[in-house]
Amino acid sequence: MEKLNNVKHIVCVASGKGGVGKSTTAVNLALALQQKGLKVGLLDADIYGPSQPLMLGVKPGTRPKIIDKKYMEPIRAHGIESNSVGYLVDSNTAMAWRAPMIVGAFNQILKETLWSDLDYLIVDMPPGTGDIQLSLSQSVTVSGAVIVTTPQDVALLDARRGIEMFRKVNVPLLGVVENMGVHICSNCGHAEAIFGEGGGKQLSADYGIDVIGSLPLDLSIREHTDSGNPIVVAKPDGSVAQAYRALADKVVEKMALLSASATAGPRISITDD
């Protein structure tokens, strides 16, 4: 497996199914890491449904600059670098590609983007456990994966499949993010767990991995993401942005622990025998 030049850590943000807020989590995590003073890139690996150009507020029709007729210069937005198949095709184009074409396009975007010296490359994975996930794990050294789920039973079932897949390909699991956990009524302040509760804790108990983020079901997250101004940027002092920054802190903490364990040498024990 290769290691991308100039990229210290590649972190996948994945989910077992669509509709759990994976892409929203990925973009806000990337921006929260950037606000910590880190150099961050965001790779939109969802070939069928690229959404990061919209979420980052990149003007439709923007294309990466091509260097030496092969390499792509990443698009900068909100202080981070990004690339996506969404920059390369019209937004209304249906990506009716077979698996080999998908894998080829993904590897091209991954390896032929001229990322600068990055501390983190956040990869927004497509939902599920298919070709892109396997190709990424087999092509480059992935530092860790974050699994996004909602407390809903069907989402948790699919999240388990995602956890099992990353374990089989030896990608370290940084933790689970429980998204859309609690909704606070904007009129009366009543808190309600619309999609259920306790699912993240159950996954943690079953697989021995930590819940590293708990995010609310909040209308403002969707509104700001759809407008191309993610909430970490739009309302950096708000409670939701603070939740994403807490997630970023946990990711950095987990990566530091993994790096320390990987570089630690054997411990020599000296006795009188």
Q: Where are the domains of the chain?
A: 9-253
Question: Which CATH number applies to 9-253: 1.10.287.370, 1.10.3720.10, 3.40.50.1000, 3.40.50.300?
Answer: 3.40.50.300
pLDDT of the residue at 91:
64
Over 80: is that where the pLDDT of 168 sits?
yes
State the average pLDDT over residues 88-109: 72
Query: 3-class DSSP state for residue 261?
Result: helix
pLDDT number for residue 143: 93
CA distance 221 to 199: 21
Give the model's pLDDT for residue 98: 65
Residue 237 pLDDT: 94
Q: 173-178 and 75-77: which strand pairing?
A: unpaired
The more confidently predicted of residues 133 and 208 is 208
Residue 90: per-residue pLDDT: 73
pLDDT at 94: 59
Q: pLDDT value at position 1?
A: 52
Rounded to whole angstroms, how far apart are CA atoms 114 and 6? 9
Residue 250 has pLDDT above 90, yes or no: yes
Q: What pLDDT, on a 0 to 100 scale, did the predictor assign at position 29?
A: 98
Over residues 63-71, mean pLDDT? 93
Lowest mean pLDDT among 14-18, 24-28, 85-89: 14-18
> How far is residue 11's CA from residue 144's CA, in Å, rounded to a whole number?
5
User: Percent of the chain, pLDDT > 90?
Assistant: 44
Name the average pLDDT for the chain.
84
Confidence of residue 155 (pLDDT cuts 50, 70, 90): low
DSSP 8-state secondary structure symbol assigned to residue 87: G
- Interatomic CA distance for residues 232 and 28, integer angstroms: 6
For residues 199-223, average pLDDT? 83
Kindly indicate the confidence band of residue 267, based on its pLDDT and cuts at 50, 70 and 90: low
Residues 6+ apart with CB under 8 A from 147: 14, 15, 16, 159, 162, 163, 166, 173, 175, 176, 177, 203
- Cα separation, 37 vs 5, in Å, equals 20
Average pLDDT over residues 228-255: 95
pLDDT for 59 equals 93
Distance CA 43, CA 250 (A): 21
Number of Cβ within 10 Å of residue 36's Cβ equals 13
